[in-house]
Structure 1
């Protein structure tokens, strides 16, 4: 009986020591500067050859797909049994959303965070434009970003039957929601502007 009490006491002491070791061992990592990150203030927009970097960041965002993104977008297909036999999927297929639909919340967050990322890439390319001294290349990079942004609006319109069309980053909160037809018209106008 005494041995069991001693073993329990020893185990609790060992867990306490392990907990303290884990908590205190990474504290110094909290105060180190970010690695592989350039803060905005440190970006030198006078190096024209770096104008491609915002475009590369935009493509990185475009090619990085969350595992649930294609599944959620694919629920609303034109196939025979689009939603299957799952009640939540049938609700999504009818555009009936509940706050418990985590995948839809995730999809909307992904779409709009990447739309904003495309705006940021366009803004950064514009900052590099004077140093790059190549308007045609800057226009091409901006057209590519606008095309990717239109793709996210297309996904937004397909998935939610509408959404907010952001035309400038400084007035996101004041934009009214648009229906799917408005989003599709925006995409057509966007593509008409970027196609040479």
Structure 2
């Protein structure tokens, strides 16, 4: 969209997200379609649990949120912390996605009341409440409603491995362009939007 100049008046961050979205989505799709390797086995099949576009949006918003609330001087966040939180956010979204898909299929099939898979009135009401909360962008409340649904937790190890993979894909595909200089002779200067650096942790007395 940005390349076609379809969003010239959007605020800066929204324009950045639009510019990052398609490359990241494509990279996630490529990863989902790739053959299973020893590296991918660490987080497969969890990376396949959501559509690539939805996963890309979660990664961008979660990482930027962590950076905005992190170290004010450097706008940085620990990779492990970011990876676990991104993995957890994906897991929560998968939980909601699975609940909605399962109840949707039950409605389509019109399963009889005697069937253990039949939807009770409580389930129908719960589904409507979850959908309503999602429309109102109150995802955290929707997550709490489906928390008791049968779903095996991934665990922090899997969350971290999946999160690391998605962070790596974002750092490889996201770029920013500094403000245009007065000189039009120089070609556009695109720089990586994120950097992975090593920092020695220090404990301040106090």
TM-score range for the pair, normalised by the shorter chain length: under 0.3
Structure 1 length normalisation: TM-score?
A: 0.25
Is the helix fraction higher in 1 or 2? 1
More relative contact order, 1 or 2 (CA 8 Å, 6+ apart):
2
Structure 2 length normalisation: TM-score?
A: 0.24
